[in-house]
Structure 1
Amino acid sequence: MNDEVDAVVVGSGPNGLVAANVLADAGWDVLVLEAADTPGGAVRTAEITAPGFRNDLFSAFYPLGVASPALGALDLEEHGLRWSHAPEVLAHVFPDDRSALLSRDPERTAKSVGTFAAGDADAWLAEFETWRRVRDDVLGSLLGPFPPVRSGARLLRELGAADGLRFARMAVQPVRRFGDERFRGDGAKILLAGNALHTDLGPDQAGGAVFGWLLAMLGQEVGFPVPRGGAGELVAALVRRLESRGGRVECGRPVREVVVAGGRALGVRDAQGGLVRARRAVLADVPAPALYLDLVGEEHLPSRLVDDLAAFEWDDATIKVDWALSGPIPWTSEDARRAGTVHLGADLNGLAGFANDLACDRVPRTPFLLLGQMTTADPTRSPEGTESVWAYTHVPRGEVWSQDRLRRRADRVEQVLERHAPGFRDLVLARVVSGPAELQERNSSVVGGAINAGTSGIHQQLVFRPTPGLSRADTPVDRLYLAGASAHPGGGVHGACGANAARAALAREGHAGGAYRAVVGAALRAVYR
């Protein structure tokens, strides 16, 4: 089967669907090709534990999704998306069962961290006030195309030169150092460090402070919301919006190659040999190594780019456990009972030890857990009186996880839970354990269980993402754009990678398209000569 469209998008994850919507809004004829039987990539929901229990297969909470200018511009609420919140955002439970609370009421958060040290409540509120001053420009700088000329200039004007330099220093700091400079007690520090570990950055790794600060501040402003009915409802809204503008999504149609001739992407060929001709652009919501090495091929690439891809660093592997419970988790911590997201298994030094074990290719003895209480956040996720729950933890890449070994790791996860919620195991109706191989089988872009499409380390961010180069969606192949999370700004359900790619494609086709390509070409030649 052959098609001809203005643009073909490879992959129907949120980035791919955002890109398709942006192009459709510009009047382009867009076709999205998805290898799986259902759209969504790492934003999908299914009943995998027990009937009536809706489990998010990958991502679940979306503070960046609500705050993202790219997703916000699409008005998905007009296409059926509804957000739901737990009573509280996040609780970090210490090994001794103390807890620090992140709340949509900043005063409640401040009160919680203030119980750990005098003065920390005021210091926390001061951080939130800074966030309110710079929020729009920070999000524009982090999520927009790199370099962030306009938003960066506005941020500098708002902060001034002196505070601008201090903010830039914070952005590259380890989160432990940032916390030590601003707070005395463990509560505020652990909220920052735990949120930083939503990436693959431990407390003592450069660049962790900005991630921890961003998520903690967003949690107070917009919460950690979930789509009512399941993560897949976010994708369903994106698909409905796209179809209302004439775009199409075809599932069960994997792409075998990007067709390249004369240094230009002409379209794609599917696994059955069918050709989709792209008059204007090919956008790929896949990891960078998959796009360049598998779909394009080394023969169409500069040799230096091929060498750089050999040094591409993935983030840590993941093991995820889903449960169907007969009742809410019986936490001994009241904060944990009310929070949608719970962190547990480590204090600050424990987080550092966990990260160090991963860096040394050791499976951590005590897993740090990031847990979601989905029925607490959205009552539609399971029958009344029950709870749909998941937890994930990271493990080193390259480990072989047999079913027996996965079972034993899940048992270890449950031991941590039982310590803080006696009686947890008595509530388990069903359990599903997914190791790195199972996660990749469900979504080929989760390579080896890496959920962020590449490390968040500073050496592979900004102008270094995915390789040292332009740090934009443009590629060395004309009219081919990287729209997945391997591109700037990286992982997270925010749609920015897709929106940036779509805007690059529109700029290439605009009235100044020739000049645009000349500038991009010159930049790429400088990098890959």
Structure 2
Amino acid sequence: MERYDAIVVGAGPNGLAAAVTLARSGLSVAVYERESTVGGGTRTAELTLPGFRHDVCSAVHPLALASGFFRKFGLDKRIELVVPELSYGHPLDGGRAALAWRDLDRTVDDLGRDGPSYRRLMGPLVQRADRVAQYTGTPLVSVPAHPLTAVRFGLKALEQGSIDWNTRFREDLAPAMISGVAAHAIRPMPSLAAAAAALSLGTYAHARGWPIPVGGSQAIADALADDLRAHGGTIITDTGVTSLAELPPARVVLLDVAPRGLASIARSHLPDSYLRRLDNFRYGSGAAKVDFALSAPVPWANPDLASAGTVHLGGTRAEIAHAEREVAAGRHSSRPYVLVSQPGVGDPTRAPEGKHTLWAYTHVPSGSTSDQTEAVTAQIERFAPGFRDTILASASKTAVDMEMQNPNYVGGDIAAGEAGFLQLVARPVLSTDPWRTPGRGIYLCSSSTPPGPGVHGLAGYYAARSALRHEFGITTGPQLGPER
């Protein structure tokens, strides 16, 4: 039987990042993946009609240019990334829209009386975007490398995460736009975790933009897989792993799975006290997804939205907060928050000539079996009259379908664990090295570990660095950039 230095279970972006880091350090590495293709949440496939390529889960990647791992890996030198000038838009009824341009000054000018207040909120973070990325991309229990930036970020998050979140604003465009980004956290609002998501993602929107991979998110996974193979790594697809006993011998095993999967696969190797902590790990609300094949671009009432890579739908700040509270209470919202991606902005490869793809998801209670096609369509039609007439086909996944597609999404939770403040601190347990489990040579490298959800590869990178240090005595990280 083949022996390896390291085995990684799961070929999502974190699993592949871990494998690349280990292989670049000179170890023999094998990756086991249950699906026929690598990528996990970064896969791309024809979901509606032939020739229409849709991202299976993640579509726009605010962290692709901000992640410390991807910057070391040189992702932007390996794949083509389109960075729209308009990072995201947020329409309101009547054809008005808040527009988050990469140019902060342009954004401020468009926000009217609230422009100066928005600048005071976001400007200091945008000026220190690299420090913000470093702070939000490391465990919250660690000592921040830039304490002043951490304090500044924390104070702003406290404001936007409390009942005082409207104090600085006099109109409705700016607070609605911030809430649209905050809702990425899939949390009730106002809350500290949602505010932190809004501030960090908003910072990257103005500092570097929100890039879209040409050809689909699969390009990110393929770049990682290609580098792994180039350094001797092996990828075994169509092979699910239900127990460590099914794997060949290895000094370390890193699992890109949710805590529930870790407890199932490695139960006999973990102490009961640790298993109880894993059992107490909470999963959040679910996501239901709808993909559309369109005959024409979305007919937005506000024409500026046609150039936005991402559009947040849901109306005013109060409407979005209400919708998210409904979901958190276990109810489907009648006017839900909907996140829309228009990958055709700068990437004509996603659909046949003259046609378009549209990616959308909404938040639903955990374990929901409700098809959200009509709810999503209605919200888009609200801000883009005539949208229904452009639909050629659609494909829907309920929250339960999302979990069946990827077991890490327990109950449809695409964040692989509730992203509340306390669970971002203790993810999945309170530890200065949360990737290392009590089981000998067993590590967790999924989004259920710091720094949490998002396509950034950092959870895998940190887990691999921990394994290198503890199991192999390697304390210096490998060179990860493209080789000449």
> Which TM-score applies when normalising by structure 1?
0.85
**What residue is the counterpart of 2:108 in the other structure?**
110
- 3-state DSSP of counterpart to 1:398: coil
Q: Distance in 1 between the 2:221 and 2:281 partners?
A: 29
Q: How does 1:415-454 map to 2 (within 5 A)?
A: 415-454=378-417
Q: Distance in 2 between the 1:178 and 1:471 partners?
A: 35
**What residue is the counterpart of 1:124 in the other structure?**
118
**1:470: Cα distance to partner?**
4.3
**1:412: Cα distance to partner?**
2.5
**What residue is the counterpart of 1:94 in the other structure?**
92
**1:4: Cα distance to partner?**
0.7
**1:437: Cα distance to partner?**
2.4
Alignment partner of 1:226 out of 201, 212, 216: 212
**What residue is the counterpart of 1:139 in the other structure?**
133
**1:134: Cα distance to partner?**
3.2
Q: How does 1:15-414 map to 2 (within 5 A)?
A: 15-79=14-78, 81-113=79-111, 115=112, 118=113, 120-145=114-139, 147-149=141-143, 152=144, 154-156=145-147, 158=148, 165=151, 167-172=153-158, 174-175=160-161, 177=163, 179-259=165-245, 269=246, 275-279=247-251, 281-292=252-263, 294-297=264-267, 299-401=268-370, 406=371, 409-414=372-377
Q: Distance in 1 between the 2:160 and 2:118 partners?
A: 18
Change (3 A) 1:175 1:147: closer
**1:166: Cα distance to partner?**
5.1
Q: Distance in 1 between the 2:153 and 2:19 partners?
A: 35
RMSD after superposition: 2.0
Say whether the 8 Å CA contact 1:76–1:241 is kept in structure 2.
no
Say whether the 8 Å CA contact 2:62–2:211 is kept in structure 1.
yes
Q: Write the letter of the residue equivalent to 1:277.
A: P
Q: Structure 2: state its 5+ residue gaps.
A: 476-484
Q: Structure 1: state its 5+ residue gaps.
A: 260-268, 270-274, 514-529
Q: Distance in 2 between the 1:13 and 1:491 partners?
A: 12
Change (3 A) 1:17 1:290: same
**What residue is the counterpart of 1:505 in the other structure?**
467
Q: Distance in 1 between the 2:312 and 2:212 partners?
A: 17
Alignment partner of 1:474 out of 436, 447, 457: 436
Q: Distance in 1 between the 2:123 and 2:314 partners?
A: 31
Say whether the 8 Å CA contact 1:174–1:207 is kept in structure 2.
no
Say whether the 8 Å CA contact 2:271–2:439 is kept in structure 1.
no
- 3-state DSSP of counterpart to 1:375: coil
Matched, 1:495 2:457: yes
Deviations 1:13-65 (A, max 9, x none): 00011111111111111111101111000101011111211101100001112
Say whether the 8 Å CA contact 2:54–2:350 is kept in structure 1.
yes
**1:256: Cα distance to partner?**
2.1
- 3-state DSSP of counterpart to 1:51: coil
Alignment partner of 1:456 out of 387, 408, 419: 419
Q: Distance in 2 between the 1:134 and 1:375 partners?
A: 31
Q: Distance in 1 between the 2:2 and 2:232 partners?
A: 15
Deviations 1:314-350 (A, max 9, x none): 1211111111000101111123222111111231111
**4+ residue runs over 6 A deviation:** none
**1:78: Cα distance to partner?**
4.7
Q: Distance in 1 between the 2:472 and 2:163 partners?
A: 46
**What residue is the counterpart of 1:519 in the other structure?**
none
Deviations 1:156-205 (A, max 9, x none): 2x55xxxx645433345553646424433322222221111111123222
Say whether the 8 Å CA contact 2:101–2:205 is kept in structure 1.
yes
Say whether the 8 Å CA contact 2:399–2:411 is kept in structure 1.
yes
**1:258: Cα distance to partner?**
2.1
**1:228: Cα distance to partner?**
0.5
Say whether the 8 Å CA contact 2:64–2:75 is kept in structure 1.
no
- 3-state DSSP of counterpart to 2:290: strand
Change (3 A) 1:77 1:204: closer
Q: Distance in 2 between the 1:366 and 1:127 partners?
A: 29
**1:145: Cα distance to partner?**
4.7
- 3-state DSSP of counterpart to 1:66: coil
Q: Write the letter of the residue equivalent to 2:416.
A: A
- 3-state DSSP of counterpart to 1:276: coil
Q: Distance in 1 between the 2:369 and 2:196 partners?
A: 33
- 3-state DSSP of counterpart to 2:98: strand
Q: Percent identity?
A: 35
Say whether the 8 Å CA contact 2:290–2:360 is kept in structure 1.
yes
Say whether the 8 Å CA contact 1:196–1:208 is kept in structure 2.
yes
After superposing the two structures, state which structure 1 stretch, 306-315 or 348-357, moved more.
Answer: 306-315
- 3-state DSSP of counterpart to 1:323: strand
**What residue is the counterpart of 1:483 in the other structure?**
445
Q: Kindly tell me the number of residue pairs found equivalent between the two proteins.
A: 475
Q: Distance in 1 between the 2:120 and 2:158 partners?
A: 20
Q: Distance in 2 between the 1:207 and 1:77 partners?
A: 29
**1:100: Cα distance to partner?**
0.4
Q: Distance in 2 between the 1:511 and 1:429 partners?
A: 57
- 3-state DSSP of counterpart to 2:202: helix
Q: Distance in 2 between the 1:4 and 1:323 partners?
A: 45
> Which TM-score applies when normalising by structure 2?
0.93
**1:302: Cα distance to partner?**
3.1
Q: Write the letter of the residue equivalent to 1:356.
A: R
Q: Write the letter of the residue equivalent to 1:111.
A: D
Say whether the 8 Å CA contact 1:87–1:377 is kept in structure 2.
no
**1:215: Cα distance to partner?**
0.6
After superposing the two structures, state which structure 1 stretch, 387-396 or 180-189, moved more.
Answer: 180-189
- 3-state DSSP of counterpart to 1:461: helix
After superposing the two structures, state which structure 1 stretch, 344-353 or 128-137, moved more.
Answer: 128-137
After superposing the two structures, state which structure 1 stretch, 127-136 or 32-41, moved more.
Answer: 127-136
Say whether the 8 Å CA contact 1:196–1:209 is kept in structure 2.
yes
After superposing the two structures, state which structure 1 stretch, 488-497 or 183-192, moved more.
Answer: 183-192
Q: Distance in 2 between the 1:141 and 1:105 partners?
A: 23
After superposing the two structures, state which structure 1 stretch, 121-130 or 388-397, moved more.
Answer: 121-130
Say whether the 8 Å CA contact 2:81–2:214 is kept in structure 1.
yes
**What residue is the counterpart of 2:479 in the other structure?**
none
Q: Distance in 1 between the 2:281 and 2:407 partners?
A: 17
